[in-house]
Structure 1
Amino acid sequence: MKLRFRILAGLVLLGLSGPQANAADEYPTRQIKIIVPFPAGAGPDQVARLIGQRLQEDLGQTVVIENRSGALGSLGAQEVARSAPDGYTLLMGTNTTQASNVAMFKTLPYDPAKDFAPVIRTITTAMVLLVKPDFPARDLKQFMEYARSRPNLTAGYGSGASQISNAQLQSRGGMTILSASYRGVPLAVTDVISGVIDLAFADFSVAIPQMQGGTLRGIGVTSPKRNELTPDLPPLADAMPGFEATIWYGLLAPAKTPEPVVNRLYTATQKILSTPAVRERLASLGMVVAPMPPAEFGAFIASEITRWTADAKAAGIEAK
């Protein structure tokens, strides 16, 4: 009887665990969707499309990119958080969706730490403070003098990092800036070009083409050091000590996604990021390949929530 019981119990366990294990071993068997919570052309969108194209080759399944912008990326992040934990709906998350949004909203419709299974951090980058070519100030020193004497300068933001950077102009720069919210950074940049607003912070991947094309001009960068792509632009911290906004993107799945599926995605993406052609392409966009495995990425997100919450508080931002 005892032997028969053990055999039956073993069969039951196999029946419960077998399909899940097999599903993970066979993954993927159909189309994968990566949701980008910002508009087409934004930095996270460019990285998602670069990686998605190559994931198709590695995984043998179609990978589609869908943009779900709005509410500082929280709409797209919420959609992924509520998706089935099977590895077929992923998020190209950022420091905005997974960290600073905690300080931006009184009620966030998802938990950045608990509702996701981190897969891999992909890159780190920074932003450029952009103005029109005919903006009166030609360099950082002139900008500081001009901005402090003009209380009506307007700025747009489309991410947590750009919102906090606008606030840092006030808290660290001693100037008054009127900020307007956009569904994404590229939309704010468009309004700088058209003269609707005076300035905007944009990821390097968005800023560089505008500067190269002569449609916008850079004043300074949010990184602690100069960037080799923009050697003439000083860190904003040179004039405003403590000013920094280093940002990152990474792939995440819904919480409870099977570990073998997460590991499969991590391995494939890590392989892609180590490819010289991909690294060179990302470098041309001002991005540094900075992969983190799932567990490390999860711990990093927890620390980033603390960091960005403190930055928002120091900049005087109140949750809405």
Structure 2
Amino acid sequence: MIRLLLVVAALFGATGVMAQDFPNKSITVVVPVPPGGVVDLAGRLAAEALAGELKSSVVVDNKAGASANIGATYVAQAKPDGYTLLASYSLYHEVNPLLFNNLKWRPESFVPIGRVVVTPSVVVVHPSLPVHSLKEFVDYVKKNPGAVSFASQGTGSVAHLGSELLKQDTGIEMVHVPYKGSGPAMQDLVAGRVQFFITAPPAVMGYVQQGRLRALAIAGSERHPMLPEVPTSVEQGFPNFQLNPWVGLFAPADTPDAVVRKLAAALEKGLTQPKAIESAKAAGASVSFQSPQELAKTVAQGRAYWAALVKAANIKIE
């Protein structure tokens, strides 16, 4: 019995020493997408925040591919010591396990450190459609079922799931046209080959200002500073049509609690710096920290929410 108590005490002592000594080498933040875009931005904001507060080297490693599953798998299988972290987009984290068979990771493979940013979405249409509000759009599609096509960055993307959410909420019918990324989707939208798209405000602001696209709504409850004249979906009477994607920072499961707390505290403090706030704002996002406990609840709620939609809309990876 005494030997067992000594072993337990030694383990707790080792964990305490590890947390006190952490970090004593470079930390890596894995971004599971290519450089550029809001996920990469959030990963770099998190890295800068940690580096500044922990006085340690923090590097960003872009491990892109397989709808972010390569990077997620890498971190899930890393040593749980706090030195290898994942910047994860909410839809990758919550929806990929619903769509991909034989994943080598699950949401339970990670422990949350904290949310970094939220990324509002804007609904845009080609100006050839005779609509100027979300209600007019819904009414038009109801009168012309199947005549409107919506673009997405691929199955399970925010544009895909958001469009399915609007369809489910209003009973309208649209044709899904998936693309390999936002670039080609945007090209066909501006050309009028598809008519409807959901994306981040910075991607369409110039086209909207030039009159080449028309913004109908911000899919949420707050207007966006880049498009302040565009009303929200809630303002227009569609309270169920809200999209609030986020990017958070995660560590492998079994990372010591003391290390997670130290990382979370550094992330929270670092994200209050004006540079972090302005960088997020310039990318159309906003810094919005959540604690590990809060982010865990957010993930659980998101998984349940999207699981219901994926089942109802029969969404599958082709």
| TM-fit CA distance, 1:267 | 0.5
**Residue 229 of structure 2 is aligned with which of 232, 238, 247?**
232
Aligned to 1:296: 294
| TM-fit CA distance, 1:125 | 3.2
Aligned to 1:261: 259
Matches within 5 A, 1:50-199: 50-112=45-107, 114-131=108-125, 135-137=128-130, 139-140=132-133, 143-144=137-138, 149=144, 151=147, 153-158=149-154, 160-171=157-168, 172=170, 174-182=172-180, 184-185=181-182, 188-189=185-186, 192=189, 198-199=195-196
| TM-fit CA distance, 1:56 | 1.8
Contact 1:220–1:236 (8 Å) recurs in 2: yes
Q: TM-score, normalised by structure 2?
A: 0.81
Contact 2:121–2:198 (8 Å) recurs in 1: yes
Contact 2:276–2:287 (8 Å) recurs in 1: no
Q: Specify whether residues 235 and 31 from structure 1 end up closer, same or farther in structure 2 by C-alpha distance, changes over 3 A only.
A: same
C-alpha distance after superposition, 1:229-264 (max 9, x if no partner): 323223346376632222222111000011121111
Partner secondary structure for residue 224 of structure 1: coil
| TM-fit CA distance, 1:131 | 4.5
Q: Specify whether residues 216 and 45 from structure 1 end up closer, same or farther in structure 2 by C-alpha distance, changes over 3 A only.
A: farther
| TM-fit CA distance, 1:116 | 0.6
| TM-fit CA distance, 1:188 | 4.0
Letter in 2 for 1:117: V
Partner secondary structure for residue 289 of structure 1: strand
Aligned to 2:268: 270
| TM-fit CA distance, 1:162 | 2.3
Aligned to 1:308: 306
| TM-fit CA distance, 1:108 | 3.8
Q: Which runs of 5+ in 2 are unaligned?
A: none
Q: Which runs of 5+ in 1 are unaligned?
A: none
> Matched residues in 2 for 1:270 and 1:186: separation?
33
Letter in 1 for 2:163: N
> Matched residues in 1 for 2:305 and 2:123: separation?
22
Q: Specify whether residues 261 and 105 from structure 1 end up closer, same or farther in structure 2 by C-alpha distance, changes over 3 A only.
A: same
> Matched residues in 1 for 2:148 and 2:166: separation?
13
Partner secondary structure for residue 90 of structure 1: strand
> Matched residues in 2 for 1:102 and 1:260: separation?
28
> Matched residues in 2 for 1:90 and 1:188: separation?
31
Q: Report the identity percentage.
A: 28
Contact 1:102–1:305 (8 Å) recurs in 2: no
Farther off after superposition, 123-132 or 250-259: 123-132
> Matched residues in 1 for 2:83 and 2:211: separation?
41
Partner secondary structure for residue 129 of structure 1: strand
Q: Specify whether residues 46 and 206 from structure 1 end up closer, same or farther in structure 2 by C-alpha distance, changes over 3 A only.
A: farther
Farther off after superposition, 293-302 or 188-197: 188-197
Aligned to 1:25: 20
Aligned to 2:277: 279
